[in-house]
């Protein structure tokens, strides 16, 4: 359930225009979070990567609880992608700065997924909500 809640929170940070259209007074809160957005993104990128690794290491769940395993993997892929997008500046600065080839590949990936950040954020909200529900229904 924690994975789903964190994905929903990350998605809220990733789609501020959607949140502001629904709730205009949320602008103050989003402005407070904005200076930390890159750090939050970097943490969630690594959190999502760790979740993907955990899903692969626990592939045995696929025979016991296939819906939960697929949900867990999908949620962590979305979390890693959103985290990468939000934390790209810091990831580029601290992780990829020494390897020019990795930096170029990261720039190419970012340019492909950047226009889709809003859609990915909405997908994150949906998958995160499903992860919360699925944790009650299918978790091992």
- pLDDT tens digits, one per residue of 42-96: 899 999 999 999 999 999 988 888 888 898 999 999 999 998 888 877 777 777 7
Q: Would you say 7 and 121 are in contact if contact means Cβ atoms under 8 Å apart?
A: no
Confidence of residue 135 (pLDDT cuts 50, 70, 90): confident
Give the pLDDT of residue 22. 66
CA end-to-end span of the chain: 12
The residue behind tokens 């402005």 is 31
Q: So what's the pLDDT on residue 23?
A: 66
Give the confidence band of 1 by pLDDT, cuts at 50, 70, 90: confident
For position 68, what pLDDT does the model report? 86
Least confident of 80-89, 94-103, 128-137: 94-103
| Mean confidence (pLDDT) of the chain | 82
Q: Are 71 and 123 in contact (CB under 8 A)?
A: no
d(CA 106, CA 14): 19
Instruction: Give yes or no for a contact between 124 and 48, defined as CB atoms under 8 angstroms apart.
Output: no
pTM over 0.85: no
pLDDT at 140 over 60: no
Per-residue pLDDT, 70: 92
Most confident of 109-113, 130-134, 136-140: 130-134
In three-state secondary structure terms, 29 is: helix
């Amino acid at each position: 359930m924690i994975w789903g809640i964190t994905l929903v929170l990350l998605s809220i940070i990733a789609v501020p225009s959607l949140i502001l259209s629904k709730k205009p007074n949320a602008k103050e809160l989003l402005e407070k979070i904005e200076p930390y957005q890159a750090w939050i993104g970097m943490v969630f990128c690594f959190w999502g990567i760790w979740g993907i690794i955990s899903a692969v290491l626990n592939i045995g769940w696929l025979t016991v609880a296939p819906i939960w395993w697929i949900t867990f993997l999908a949620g962590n892929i979305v979390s890693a992608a959103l985290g990468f997008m939000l934390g790209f500046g810091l990831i580029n600065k601290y992780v990829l700065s020494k390897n020019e080839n990795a930096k170029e590949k990261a720039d190419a990936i970012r340019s492909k997924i950047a226009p889709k950040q809003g859609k990915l954020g909405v997908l994150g909200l949906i998958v995160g909500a499903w992860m919360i529900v699925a944790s009650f229904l299918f978790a091992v």
